Chains A and B, each alone.
Chain A
Amino acid sequence: MSLIQPSTQPKVSQKASGRRNENNKLYANPLPIIFAEEQSSAGVWHKALGLLLGVSLTRVLNPHCEGVFDATTRSVWVTDMKHAMTLWQRGFFGKGDLSRSEPSWLARQINARKQARTGLTSEEVTAKRRAERKQFKLDRAKAMAAAAAEAEAAFREEGRVISTVYSADGTRIIPSAATWKPSQTLPEPPRASSPTESEDEDDNDVPIENVEHLQLTLSEAFFLLWNLDCLSVTHPETGDALSLNQIWCAFQNAHVPSPSLSPNLDPPARRFDNPFLVNYVAYHHYKSLGWVVKNGIKFCVDYLLYKRGPVFSHAEFAIVVCPVYEDPADQESSPFQLQNTSPFSWSWLSTLNRVNAQVQKTLILSYVTIPARSRVPDTVLSSPACFNHYSVREVIVRRFIPARMRD
C-alpha cells in the first residue's frame, strides 16, 4: 500500500484499512505469553554471556491469569476483567457469557443508558446491519412489484414489452445490495431504557455492576495451564489454587453425573472415553497446529477453525468430532453419552454439509480414536501422558455435483 497518496483512497477503504491496522496491533499476540526481546542497548557482557553459555536473553512475559472452576457449567470463569481481556486479545480464548464473543455486556449497558452512541459493540453493529438489510429487502420487493406492474400495464395496453430491470434511461430500477443506501435513518434497535431517565441523572447514575465473566471451556483452560502455564484455577468455594493433579481429576469428574454442584477432586473412575479427554485431544490437536479453535454450536458442529481469529475473517473449517472406540466392548460399557460415536445417517450428514456449505465452510470429520482398555493399561490415565495413546484423523466432506463441477 503506497503511503504517497492517502487522500486519493476512497473513504470506505480508508476506514477498513484503519480498522485492520488497529486489529493487527490489538490482536498481535497469538498466545497469552509474550517473548520479549532484550533491548539492543544491552551491554557487551550480556551478549557475550549469551553467546558463550548459550543462555537465551529473551524474557518470557507471563500474564499469570486466574480463573475459578465451576463444575455446574463445566467451565472455568475468569472474573478479573483485565485477565479476561488479556486472554481474549492474545489468542481469542474464552467467550463473554453474556456476549457474542468478547465480554462486552457492561459496555452495551452503558451505551444503552447513555442513549448516545460513542462506539458500537458487536451486537449493536449486527442489529443495525440486520435492520438495514431488512429495509433493503422491503425496498427491493417494492421496486420489483412496481416494475412488474408497469410492465404488465404497458404490455396489456400498448402491446410493448419493457424491461423490468432497467428503466428507459438505463438506470437500474431494482436496487442492488452493493449500491443501496437507506433512504431515511432507520429506527434504532429497541433499548432497555427506563422511563424515568433524564439527562440530569447521567452524572448521578448508580454504576452498573458487571455480572459478566469470561468463560473458558475445560479444554481451553487445560491448554492454557498445562502447556503455557499462564492460567491458575482456583476452587470456587475455598479459593485455593488447584494443583495439576486436582484439576486433572476435577475436569474429568465434571462429566460424571453427580447430585452435588461442588467440584469433585477425587480421582475419577478410569475411562478413556471421558468426554473431557476426548474433547481435549481434538482441541489440542488443532490448537497446537496454530488454529484458533472456537465452539461451533451455531453451525451444528463441534469446533470452528479460524486462521487468525474471529475478528480477522470467518472460520474456514467446521469440525465434527467423531469418537471411535478401538474396542467396541468399551462402547457398550460406557457410562457417558458421547455424541457421534455411531455412524451418521446420510440425511444428517447431508444436512450438516449443506448448512456449512451455505456459509462457505468446509466440513471436516475428525475421528478421535479411543484406546482399548484391553490393550492400554488404565494406569496411564493418572496423568496427561495418556494423550499419547489417542489419535486424530481427518476426513473432508464436500458435496460433489457431477453436472456442475466439470470445470
Chain B
Amino acid sequence: MSTVTNMQTHPSYPELTRYLSKYPSSAGALFQTFNDITFAQKWTNVELVDLPNCQRAGIKGLRPSSDDGELPSTCIVLPCSLAESISTSYFSAAFTSLGESAPKQIYLAICAEDSSTVYYKIGKGIVKPSI
C-alpha cells in the first residue's frame, strides 16, 4: 500500500509547495522531476533554485558517482513538460540566473504525463563530448 493518497500528502509536497504555487505552469514537471531525482536517482543535498527568468524553479543537488567512475558532482536540473515549447533563450536565461557559480552544463528534464522523465545535457555553445 502506498502511503501517498494525493499530492498534498506526498512527502515532497511541503518542500515544493512554495514553487508549485508560484509557477503553476511548471508545477507538474517540477513535482515529477523532484521525485525522480530524490527517490529514484538518489541525488543528495537536493535544494530548489528560483529561476524567475525561466518562470520555474530549478533543482540543484549532488549527483552520485556513476558506473563510469565519475566523482559525485553538483548538477542543476531544469524541469519542463513535454507539452511546452522551449527556446534557447530559456537556457541562456537559466545560465544568467545561476550567475558566477553556474556549472558548465545543466540538465533539462522533460516530463511526460505517464511519469517518464528524460534528461538532456545542455551546455553553453558547442561542447565537445568527452571520449
> Interface residue count for A (Cβ, 8 Å)?
51
Give Cα A127–Cα B40 distance, bound, in whole angstroms.
Answer: 14
Known: A72-B7, A211-B11. A218 touches B113 (CB 8 A): yes
Is B67 in contact with A98, judged by CB distance below 8 angstroms?
no
Is A237 in contact with B24, judged by CB distance below 8 angstroms?
no
Is B35 in contact with A70, judged by CB distance below 8 angstroms?
no
A176 within 8 A of B: no
Give Cα A96–Cα B31 distance, bound, in whole angstroms.
Answer: 15
B124 within 8 A of A: no
Q: Compute the total of residue contacts between A and B using a CB distance below 8 Å.
A: 118
The digit string for B76-90, where 1 denotes a CB below 8 A from any CB of A, is 000000111100000
Is A75 in contact with B1, judged by CB distance below 8 angstroms?
no
Q: Which residues in A have their C-beta under 8 angstroms from that of B85? A: 337
Q: Which residues in B have their C-beta under 8 angstroms from that of A77? A: 4, 6
B27 within 8 A of A: yes
B45 within 8 A of A: no
Is A130 in contact with B67, judged by CB distance below 8 angstroms?
yes
Known: A105-B39, A261-B27, A337-B85. A213 touches B4 (CB 8 A): yes
A62 within 8 A of B: no
Give the contacts of B46-85 with A (CB-CB under 8 A): 64-65, 67, 82-85
Is A98 in contact with B40, judged by CB distance below 8 angstroms?
yes
Give Cα A80–Cα B67 distance, bound, in whole angstroms.
Answer: 34
> Interface residue count for B (Cβ, 8 Å)?
38
Is A211 in contact with B2, judged by CB distance below 8 angstroms?
yes
Give Cα A272–Cα B78 distance, bound, in whole angstroms.
Answer: 32
A257 within 8 A of B: yes
Is B31 in contact with A73, judged by CB distance below 8 angstroms?
yes
Give Cα A215–Cα B31 distance, bound, in whole angstroms.
Answer: 13
Q: Which of B10, B24, B31, B115 neighbours the largest number of chain A CB atoms within 10 Å of its CB?
A: B115
Is B7 in contact with A105, judged by CB distance below 8 angstroms?
no
Q: What residue of chain A has the Cβ atom nearest to residue B10's Cβ?
A: A211
Is B24 in contact with A258, judged by CB distance below 8 angstroms?
yes
Give the contacts of B2-27 with A (CB-CB under 8 A): 2-8, 10-11, 20-21, 24-25, 27
List the one stretch of A4-12, A165-173, A293-301, A375-383 in contact with chain B: A293-301
A137 within 8 A of B: no
Known: A73-B31, A98-B36, A217-B114. A81 touches B67 (CB 8 A): no
Is A261 in contact with B11, judged by CB distance below 8 angstroms?
no
Give Cα A237–Cα B116 distance, bound, in whole angstroms.
Answer: 25
Q: Which of B39, B113, B118 neighbours the largest number of chain A CB atoms within 10 Å of its CB?
A: B113
Q: Which residues in B have their C-beta under 8 angstroms from that of A96? A: 115
Give Cα A212–Cα B6 distance, bound, in whole angstroms.
Answer: 11
Is A79 in contact with B2, judged by CB distance below 8 angstroms?
yes
Known: A72-B28, A74-B28, A79-B2. A134 touches B67 (CB 8 A): yes
Known: A72-B20, A127-B67, A190-B64. A95 touches B7 (CB 8 A): no
Q: Which residues in B have their C-beta under 8 angstroms from that of A84? A: 2
B106 within 8 A of A: no
- Extra A-B contacts (9), CB below 8 Å, given A77-B6, A97-B36, A258-B24: A70-B7, A74-B113, A79-B2, A130-B67, A211-B4, A216-B114, A259-B24, A295-B116, A297-B116
Q: Which residues of B does A touch, CB under 8 Å?
A: 1-8, 10-11, 20-21, 24-25, 27-28, 31-32, 35-36, 39-40, 42, 64-65, 67, 82-85, 110-116, 118
Instruction: List 12 contacting pairs A-B, 8 Å CB cutoff, sorted by A.
Output: A70-B7, A74-B113, A77-B6, A79-B4, A98-B35, A98-B36, A190-B65, A295-B114, A297-B110, A298-B118, A337-B84, A337-B85
